[in-house]
Chains A and B, each alone.
Chain A
């Protein structure tokens, strides 16, 4: 369909492209700004010479961050939460999704309502806080795992996927004598690997980025997670032990901005690196969840 574009349409396209490019640039430039400062020498930064391109490149700021024990322990704590929490979440989500995917389930409406209601109304910060304390989860890493174990949204996504699995597969399995358990574990779950992968990614990113729960439930500095430690560094230029982060570079103190921005990059690099490769999984999850749900 090749029709000559009118003048106004051409102008329109120019405007559209300009806006899109401007938007993308703002994203790229923001990252460049932060990375550049973190890699630059102190004097250049102080003289205002650095915006997008680093000057006097040095990795001192990164060395400071990497050598901090609190950063390592924060990484370890966050990784623990991810490794312990993700399989648990996926498992429980499937446990909820599978029965709900059976059209003839007795009590299905009730159970679905019980689940969906949690999306509409939640008790809030204070009751949850008191509950976590009562359950002796307070100040443990489990407080960041257990309260969020089942998300109704994820259950819907997996349930919808289970429902889309052709019933002929299940019927032939039942004729062969499979019971519910084998249908779930030997047929449905292997078939659901893409969806489970997507949901897992959601969960992992959620754990990685979580700040508020860690802020509320953890008091022991040794158990602080990544975002909490990062927050302290960025806000105060010192880490959780109150010790001011500094290092010597050419016999001079490193600028705290450099250290702060290095901390930001260090915390977010894994996600940024992994994300482009997994993008299509993330996007698929949104579409499956929203368009069908």
Chain B
């Protein structure tokens, strides 16, 4: 392959006109850059085995999967498992719990890193700023087990400092983690506690890239701090916010398994039962592979649809989106 072909390939790629390259030229490229494709072989193998094969394996959602018979020989039952799920008594409770926790989380937890970034931006002293960042980033690195352990510790009726404060103020200590009415609050608040600091990084980065002269001009025009924030800072980071919001909305039906599972004490089970835990209990523990796979598939498809929809809406409203 001579220099001209290389140039043609480069032009082809940059002008996005795939028709410029013929099959022969493509094959010649592959042959010349064999090494690149050799590198990609293990990558392909991995992706196929561990991502695409399982996706194909989702077909057990439409079968009565029998491990002894395997994927091909198990009986085909169509939408039976989906119907069973939709008619079952669990579905509404699961959907309600999953949805509610996520909506509250969206309302309360999502804005926190943004507000935190705005506040941190006002801190002038670099040392204090760094100290705050170091401290607030730390909880993000705690494992879920440790986080839940600490939450339970801090809320402990006997030794936790929350209850100590309550009793010192004259109240009675509350066994928070056994009360269903507190579950969502605890779940979301602990999430805010752990992730606000870390989640603000991306917003801080966006804020620092704002042109400082905008602020100077605004000050000359007499704008106060709050006005500056509303008219300069927020619009400038709007695209970042939208991006993060879409990612968040896409996860609306996807409550992570770990934290809920670890926080589920028996009394709160009714509010804490979410789809991911359901799939775990019915599938991994209970062995109803087809049924739980069907529920999981239902979950994934809705999430997928949500991301696409959220992106479309955002495109329509603000001309910004993820792609």
Q: Is the interface of A mostly helix, strand, loop or mixed?
A: helix
Chain B residue nearest to A28 in the complex (CB) = B135
Report Cα–Cα, A283/B279, bound state, in Å.
34
Find out whether the CB atom of B137 lies under 8 angstroms from the CB atom of A33. no
Give complex CA distance A37, B163 in Å. 14
- Which of the segments B100-108, B144-152, B179-187 contacts the partner chain? B144-152
B58 contacts chain A at the CB level, 8 A cutoff: yes
A51, B167: Cα distance in complex, Å: 12
User: Is the pair A126, B289 in contact by a Cβ cutoff of 8 Å?
Assistant: yes
Q: What are 28 inter-chain pairs, A to B, with CB distance below 8 A?
A: A1-B216, A8-B224, A16-B123, A23-B136, A27-B138, A30-B150, A30-B153, A33-B153, A34-B150, A103-B10, A108-B13, A118-B51, A122-B55, A124-B279, A125-B283, A126-B292, A126-B293, A127-B55, A131-B49, A131-B54, A149-B50, A184-B35, A184-B39, A211-B262, A227-B145, A257-B153, A272-B141, A275-B141
A216 to B128 alpha-carbon distance, docked (Å)? 43
B57 CB contacts on chain A under 8 angstroms:
123, 127, 130-131
From residue A150, how far is it (CB to closest CB) to chain B in Å?
Answer: 5
Closest residue on chain B to residue A101 by CB atoms: B36
On whether the beta carbons of B284 and A125 are closer than 8 Å, the reply is yes
**Contact of B135 (CB < 8 Å), options: A12, A24, A34, A108:** A24
**How distant is the Cα of A118 from the Cα of B51 in the complex, in angstroms?**
7
Contact of B156 among A104, A124, A126, A257 (CB under 8 A): A257
Which of B42, B60, B139 has the most CB atoms of chain A within a 10 A radius of its CB?
Answer: B42
* Chain B nearest Cβ from A217, distance in angstroms: 10
A-B contact count (CB 8 A): 254
Range class of the B interface residue count: 35 or more
Contacts of A205 in B (CB 8 A): 141
- The contact string, 1 if C-beta is below 8 Å from chain B, for chain A 113-125, is 0110010111111
Could you tell me the distance between the alpha carbons of A260 and B153 in the complex, rounded to whole angstroms? 9
Stretch at the interface among A63-71, A91-99, A189-197, A240-248: A91-99
**A95 CB, min distance to chain B CBs, angstroms:** 4
Interface size for A (C-beta < 8 A) is 93
In the assembled complex, the CB of A153 is this many whole angstroms from the nearest CB of chain B, namely: 12
A227 lies within 8 A of B205 (CB): no
B205-228 vs A, CB cutoff 8 Å, 1 = contact: the mask equals: 110000000001001000011100
Tell me how far the C-beta of A285 lies from the nearest C-beta in chain B, rounded to whole angstroms: 10
Q: Mark A1-31, 1 if CB is under 8 A from B, else 0.
A: 1010010110011001101100110111111
Whose C-beta in chain A lies nearest to the C-beta of B131? A24
Within the assembled complex, what's the spacing in Å between the Cα atoms of A26 and B155? 13
Q: Is the CB of B42 within 8 A of A92?
A: yes
**Residue A291, interface by CB 8 Å:** yes
Q: Are the C-beta atoms of A290 and B202 separated by less than 8 Å?
A: yes
Interface residue? A105 (CB, 8 A): yes
- Say yes or no: is A160 at the interface (Cβ < 8 Å to chain B): no
Contact indicator A103/B307 (Cβ below 8 Å): no
Give the interface segment out of B25-33, B83-91, B313-321: B25-33
Minimum Cβ distance to chain A for residue B29 (Å) = 5
B36 touches A20 (CB 8 A): no
The docked-state distance in angstroms from the alpha carbon of A234 to that of B147 is 11
Q: Verify B300–A122 contact, CB threshold 8 A.
A: yes
Q: Determine if A13 and B36 form an interchain contact, defined as CB atoms under 8 angstroms apart.
A: no
**1/0 per residue A135-163: CB within 8 Å of B?**
10000000000110110000000000000
Cα-based distance from A45 to B289 in the complex (angstroms)? 47
Judging by beta carbons under 8 Å apart, are A20 and B55 in contact? Answer: no
Cα A181 to Cα B37 in complex, Å, equals 11
Kindly state the separation between the CA atoms of A50 and B152 in the bound complex, as whole angstroms. Answer: 16
Q: Decide yes or no: A20 and B119 within 8 Å by CB, A95-B39, A127-B57 being known contacts.
A: yes
* Chain A residue nearest in CB terms to B148: A234
Q: Is A111 an interface residue (CB 8 A)?
A: yes
Interface residues of B in 106-137 (CB under 8 A from A): 116, 119-120, 122-123, 131-137
Q: Of A26, A45, A124, A208, which is within 8 A of B293 by CB?
A: A124
B145–A20 CB distance below 8 A: no
A129 touches B284 (CB 8 A): yes
State which of B9, B137, B226, B293 has its C-beta within 8 Å of the C-beta of A279.
B137
